Chain A
Amino acid sequence: MRLQAVDLKLGYGDRIIVDGLDLGIEAGTVTTIIGPNGCGKSTLLRALGRLLKPSGGEVLLDGKRIDRMPSKEVARILGVLPQAPTAPEGLTVADLVARGRHPHQTWYRQWSSDDESAVSEALSMTGLLELGDRPLDELSGGQRQRAWISMALAQGTDLLLLDEPTTFLDLAHQIEVLELVRRLHGELGRTVVMVLHDLNLAARYADRLVAMRDGKVIASGTPAEVLTEGLLAEVFDLDAKVIEDPVAGTPLVIPIGTRAHPPS
């Protein structure tokens, strides 16, 4: 078990969002957290990546309490791509990606050959070598998202947490990002945990799905186990048919209507 949440209690201020949650992420899997807006999936991801301090319970990274490990050591094991990240204006793609090497550097070790090859590799994996010297603010949404993923790759961690890596992207770019995730997992054996909104893409690109509602895990397992008509009703209040995806063989959700307003 690479990453584990034990009796986790999360919230902002007095507002409790997640209470008593247990979850385990196994090595070498792509896990996708799904659930309706405000169910606490991003909050959970932030806590797994020690961006949010739990108000109760604990997060274990390779069996050790993540909040007791030096932050820099964690950053060499686990990379996080936050939702809607911000960078200083005028920063070039290559400088952004090079920043990913931060946890491997010290004041006397600022640009090793390891740093250099990791940055080259991350840029080429995301197809950004040609755009390396372009300012980030001049890129399209898809390119920018790839640049941020590239930064997380340059960090060289074998655990990656991605918070809605496909938001604001058109379908082709969403597929592009998710195929990149698939390759990270397939070719490099990385463990990935991500939050996605699109259920059909989640089913296609994840080994395991975790369905959440109101801060609780309602179901977890393979996409076929989790994405059932009953669960969609329970988690999303959605009337839907689930058929087999003719391309990937994974579950495909065909919405009928919401339970609140069924079609007449």
Chain B
Amino acid sequence: MTSPSERLVNGRPLRIGSASWLLRLRSAAVALILLASVAALMALTMRIGDIPMSVPEVFQAITGDGSNHFVVMELRLPRALTGALVGAALALAGAITQAVARNPLASPDILGVTGGASVTVVAITMAAGATTGGASGPLAEVGIPLAALVGGLVGALTVYLLAWRRGMDGYRLVLVGIGVSAVCTNVKYWLLTVGDVNDTGKAMVWITGSLNGRGWEHVVPVSLALAVLIPLTLLGTRSLGALRFGDDTVTGLGVRMNLARGLMILAAVLLAATATASAGPIAFVALAAPQIALRLAGVAQPPLVVSALVGAALTTAADLISRTLFSPVELPVGVVTAVLGAPYLIYLLIRVRRKARS
């Protein structure tokens, strides 16, 4: 016999001894389908390159040790993995930011990560261009991601310090974040304007977000960050769910609000910074993925695992489009996500406005 609340909370209780969970069947099914989609999309992107391959050939190349083995294992697989992992990290950061800011239009951009990273990378590219003839070799491999990481973290710290007033208020965070982003954008454009044309071109590709030439050295940091941060974030899922309510309700439920908020924002910053360091600021994934995820899962708040998988699928799909649409010319993946994301953002804005009016 099912009790009334079991029917209403829309999930199956899973109880082992005194441990218990609520299994949301629809979310679980959606997650499995998404996982399969990510794998399929990755296989499709791995066909593309100087040596075109079919999907079976890609699999043969992975398992066998033929001439294609090196191409797939060293060039195509790491790129595909970087795309999926970066997408997952951005989406997770987005889901957390939207929950803490209590705003479906919030994204890690307002945390200052993207702005800080962009300004730093542009500045470094310009400076290096003048003295060493362009960021290349070891500097490009380690220097740029490291600069992006440090810049992103400094940007986030700036936003956090400016937004803190005896506690963290979601609305204030959004406002300060928008302000800091605007300053960063202007500094970035100023640097691009005064810089050398060749350096500017290089910097532009980076600040659009690109997966081109991503190897294992990009996969490892994102994988490590995700391996540590995903379990930690999932432990905070319940607090995150509570944080969506008004301040008094949050405290009333026994959540230590400022601590929980601070830790969740820190997790979002680290996720977004690592992702940005690996592939540049890929636009709109963090904004759109959590909102798509909650609609797919049929729940009121972005589910973390489903969001991460949607992010992975979106980024991989965008990568696939960016390489097939104008083939053999390849667009930076950030161009595709921006073109797809902009109408979506407008749709969200209209919806929020309608809601406010009614």
Encoded as 1 (CB less than 8 Å from any A CB) or 0, chain B from 149 to 193 comes to: 000000000000000000000000000000000000000000000
* A102 closest partner in B (C-beta): B253
The stretch among B26-34, B57-65, B243-251, B309-317 that forms the contact with chain A is B243-251
* B352 closest partner in A (C-beta): A89
User: How distant is A37 from chain B, measured CB to nearest CB, in Å?
Assistant: 19
The answer, yes or no, to whether B329 is at the interface (CB within 8 Å) is: no
Encoded as 1 (CB less than 8 Å from any B CB) or 0, chain A from 56 to 84 comes to: 00000000000000111111100111100
If A98-B9, A107-B238, A123-B4 touch, does A85 touch B245 (CB 8 Å cutoff)? yes
State which of A95, A102, A132 has its C-beta within 8 Å of the C-beta of B238: A102
The stretch among A17-25, A45-53, A231-239 that forms the contact with chain B is A45-53
Docked complex Cα distance between A112 and B18 (Å): 8
* B244 closest partner in A (C-beta): A88
Q: Which residues of chain B come closer than 8 Å to A112, judged between CB atoms?
A: 15, 18, 20
Which residues of chain B in 226-264 are interfacial with respect to chain A, using CB atoms and an 8 Å cutoff?
235, 238, 241-242, 244-249, 251-256
The answer, yes or no, to whether B54 is at the interface (CB within 8 Å) is: no
State which of B246, B254, B355 has its C-beta within 8 Å of the C-beta of A76: B254
Judge whether B8 and A94 touch: CB under 8 Å: yes
Q: Which residues of chain B come closer than 8 Å to A88, judged between CB atoms?
A: 102, 244-245, 300-301
Docked complex Cα distance between A134 and B252 (Å): 24
The answer, yes or no, to whether A215 is at the interface (CB within 8 Å) is: no
Judge whether A99 and B245 touch: CB under 8 Å: yes
If A90-B300, A123-B4, A132-B4 touch, does A82 touch B248 (CB 8 Å cutoff)? yes
The answer, yes or no, to whether B10 is at the interface (CB within 8 Å) is: yes
Judge whether A103 and B21 touch: CB under 8 Å: no
Judge whether B21 and A111 touch: CB under 8 Å: yes
Docked complex Cα distance between A98 and B18 (Å): 18
The answer, yes or no, to whether B3 is at the interface (CB within 8 Å) is: yes
Judged by DSSP, the binding face of B is: mixed
If A85-B246, A86-B246 touch, does A133 touch B10 (CB 8 Å cutoff)? yes
Which residues of chain A in 116-130 are interfacial with respect to chain B, using CB atoms and an 8 Å cutoff?
116-117, 119-120, 123-124, 129
Q: Which residues of chain B come closer than 8 Å to A97, judged between CB atoms?
A: 5
The answer, yes or no, to whether A105 is at the interface (CB within 8 Å) is: yes
The answer, yes or no, to whether B22 is at the interface (CB within 8 Å) is: yes
Docked complex Cα distance between A90 and B352 (Å): 13
The answer, yes or no, to whether A100 is at the interface (CB within 8 Å) is: yes
State which of A46, A98, A105 has its C-beta within 8 Å of the C-beta of B248: A46
The answer, yes or no, to whether A87 is at the interface (CB within 8 Å) is: yes
The answer, yes or no, to whether A32 is at the interface (CB within 8 Å) is: no
Q: Which residues of chain A come closer than 8 Å to B10, judged between CB atoms?
A: 92, 94-95, 133
Q: Which residues of chain A come closer than 8 Å to B21, judged between CB atoms?
A: 108, 110-111
The size bracket of the interface on B is 35 or more
Q: Which residues of chain A come closer than 8 Å to B249, judged between CB atoms?
A: 80, 82, 85-87
Q: Which residues of chain B come closer than 8 Å to A98, judged between CB atoms?
A: 5, 9
Q: Which residues of chain A come closer than 8 Å to B254, judged between CB atoms?
A: 70-76, 102-103
The answer, yes or no, to whether A264 is at the interface (CB within 8 Å) is: no
* B19 closest partner in A (C-beta): A108
The answer, yes or no, to whether B6 is at the interface (CB within 8 Å) is: yes
User: How distant is A66 from chain B, measured CB to nearest CB, in Å?
Assistant: 12
The answer, yes or no, to whether B133 is at the interface (CB within 8 Å) is: no
The answer, yes or no, to whether B49 is at the interface (CB within 8 Å) is: no
Q: Which residues of chain B come closer than 8 Å to A140, judged between CB atoms?
A: none
Q: Which residues of chain B come closer than 8 Å to A119, judged between CB atoms?
A: 5, 8-9
User: How distant is A253 from chain B, measured CB to nearest CB, in Å?
Assistant: 30
Q: Which residues of chain A come closer than 8 Å to B235, judged between CB atoms?
A: 107
Q: Which residues of chain B come closer than 8 Å to A108, judged between CB atoms?
A: 19-21
* A74 closest partner in B (C-beta): B254
Q: Which residues of chain A come closer than 8 Å to B241, judged between CB atoms?
A: 99
Docked complex Cα distance between A113 and B11 (Å): 13
Judge whether A71 and B255 touch: CB under 8 Å: yes
User: How distant is A136 from chain B, measured CB to nearest CB, in Å?
Assistant: 9
The answer, yes or no, to whether A155 is at the interface (CB within 8 Å) is: yes
Q: Which residues of chain B come closer than 8 Å to A86, judged between CB atoms?
A: 245-246, 249
If A111-B21, A120-B5, A132-B4 touch, does A71 touch B13 (CB 8 Å cutoff)? no
Q: What are the 8 closest A-B residue pairs judged by CB atoms, nearest first?
A: A75-B254, A82-B248, A94-B8, A132-B8, A72-B254, A80-B252, A111-B22, A90-B300
A49-B252, A132-B8 known; 4 new pairs, CB 8 Å cut-off, are A87-B244, A102-B242, A110-B20, A120-B5
Q: Which residues of A contact B (CB under 8 A)?
A: 46, 49-51, 70-76, 79-82, 85-95, 97-100, 102-103, 105, 107-113, 115-117, 119-120, 123-124, 129, 132-133, 135, 155
18 CB-based A-B contacts, threshold 8 Å: A72-B254, A81-B252, A85-B248, A88-B102, A88-B301, A90-B300, A92-B10, A94-B9, A99-B253, A103-B254, A111-B9, A111-B11, A111-B15, A111-B20, A117-B3, A117-B5, A132-B8, A135-B300
